[in-house]
Structure 1
């Protein structure tokens, strides 16, 4: 049989780290060779620890969902018919996908945008930071009826942003940010990249219609999942009604746009609607200790379909 000289020849390229004994000649030169080979060996052994080899781009590995809890198993019937163009349903603890429909289809998020708006704002502002209302009631779309020139704590502006879905609150958070509106918007899109999401881009901070403003059912669910790790966010999006007061003494009565709040197990999160986006909804629900996150984009009946999916999940999945 013919020997494979190719593999034998190339096996010599791999540096060896075993003991080397001089066969003669200059002892000083031999010692230099020994220490050089030791250095090469240490480089190959330690390079994954101390840095990257030049020219090598290490793939980004995103953290996966790890859970010690029981995993959901489908034991009943298939999912119901849903009109929403994009749907994503996930077990929060394990990250198990319970149902999806066009999860990566580019769609308009409308006011679901404000989930990301709140992420950037909460990462910067303290609850007691003082913000001046910029556009107030002149803002486009849905507002919290904030009065231009009024002053509120950041905490109260968060409520105005997420409970009644105030575009005026979104603009106020962005305009008071260092660098202003443009910098705030850049931070929103940078956060998308930081989260490893590839199918979302924000062209404004409130969700008003814009050609280059889009997300997917999967992406917006991941953004919401990240936001829900913040206690401030989780508390606010579970609020059905609240009255806040400005530093100038103006009272603002705020009511949630999420009509499912108050039903057993509903913990939030956010609604959205424009003529172009259709009805949008992200929901967090918990029953029997199991939390499920639902996102619906471009639905004909977001609350009805959200309710339908909740019932289907808990009727047809068991956690084992």
Structure 2
């Protein structure tokens, strides 16, 4: 179950060198005061509204709580016992709960679903205790994750999202935290679940999205998954995913007024519908199609052809066609062995109306190494043969002079 490792965190950090698609950013009215929409594949930002201003995340916090707990769980079917400390103070603070009772035997899976779907603070407290030993230890881990992801405007004080002036984030940074969580397939499974029944059948839970459908008849079928939150100070917050023409997007919104309005879910559906109506995918290179070739020095392999590791695509406004976009490749003619998989080999820049639309980093798709013998032979060929030829010419010239 420990699927999110440090190399994935580095990948997440690298992915979030965000580029704004100003030439085609969407213009749309939302109930939410803050919003951030970006493409997980390209990291292009399609919509943002006050995305770097401080917000209170409310129960979006549980995205981080659950994702970190999952890293400590080896067997989701293992059972644990709910203790009085897991429920302490929740009734007084009017926290939302999953409905667990003291002494109840539940599985880790029950706790994970109970934390995300009904937004159960009891489940979060129990997860903190059984995976990190205490609430404070899990909060420390949450803030360490913030540091690992190089986030500057996020800080956690608890595992539930109950209001605290020092418990805050931004919609931009919450998107980064959700992207990190989505690296874990078990998290994705729970995040995208609409309804779930606990292992013993005594608890039935519905997701944020499902409640939007049930209470306001909102059409949620095109939204992949979501986690909402509400406090008086935060109002409605929502972190969701949606897939538009093979590109998965993360949308984070905050401060949609009205606890029971479902305006946060409606905002997600509005954005999804807009993107489906106005954007389409343009494929520039298909997987395994040659992008560029390089001459290799210090190697007998001579040439390296770089093929696309996957389809290279951008989601563009439907008024933009492939022929409207100019492409330039900035890469060296010669590269020196050894070459490690992942080494930078240049960039492809896509332009629309003389504005940079997207930059794609070219990276070596395999490792190329040269033995000492190969290097020696390379230099022998490079310098030896020309010397031999020069020697032959000089010898012939001398012979002609003698005759």
What TM-score, normalized by structure 2, do the two folds share?
Answer: 0.58
Secondary structure of the structure 1 residue equivalent to 2:15: coil
- Residue 238 of structure 1 corresponds to which residue in structure 2? 192
The alignment status of 1:131 with 2:72, answered yes or no, reads: no
Higher RCO (C-alpha 8 Å, min separation 6): 1
Superposed counterparts of 1:167-316, under 5 Å: 167-246=121-200, 251-259=202-210, 263-300=220-257, 301-316=263-278
Find out whether 1:99 has 2:53 as its counterpart. Answer: no
Correspondence for 1:319: 281
Q: CA offsets per residue over residues 194-221 of structure 1, 9 Å max, x none? A: 1111111111100111111101000111
Residue deviations 1:107-159, cap 9 Å, x none? 10000000000121001122134332233486241111111121211111101
Contact kept? 1:137, 1:147, Cα under 8 Å: no
Rounded to whole Å, the distance in 1 between the matches of 2:151 and 2:23 is: 31
- Please name the residue that 2:30 is paired with: 82
Q: How far apart in 2 are the matches of 1:311 and 1:253? A: 30
Maintained 8 Å contact 2:245/2:280: no
Aligned residues: CA RMSD: 2.5
Query: Does the CA contact (< 8 Å) of 1:73 and 1:319 recur in 2?
Result: no
Gaps of 5+ in 2: 1-11, 214-218, 258-262, 283-403
TM-score normalised by length of structure 1? 0.73
Q: Report the CA distance shift for 1:129/1:78 in structure 2 as closer, same or farther (over 3 A).
A: same
Conserved 8 A contact 2:26-2:46: no
Relative to structure 1, is the Cα distance of residues 241 and 305 closer, same or farther in structure 2, using a 3 angstrom cutoff? same
- Residue 74 of structure 1 deviates from its aligned partner by 7.9
**SS of equivalent residue, structure 2 residue 71:** helix
Q: Distance in 2 between matches of 1:243 and 1:297?
A: 29
Point out the structure with the larger strand share. Answer: 2
Contact 2:37–2:48 (CA under 8 A) maintained in structure 1: yes
Q: Structure 1: 5+ residue runs without aligned partners?
A: 1-60
Deviations 1:158-204 (A, max 9, x none): 01011111111011111223431111111111111111111111111
Whether the aligned pair in 1 keeps the contact of 2:16 and 2:176 (CA below 8 Å) is no
Show the counterpart of 1:64: 15
2:116 alignment counterpart: 162
Range with greater deviation from structure 2 (269-278 or 83-92): 83-92
How many residues matched?
253
Matched residues in 2 for 1:275 and 1:195: separation?
A: 29
Separation (CA, whole Å) in 1 of partners of 2:167 and 2:121: 15
Q: Deviations over 1:237-271 (max 9, x none)?
A: 1111111135xxx7211121223577332111211
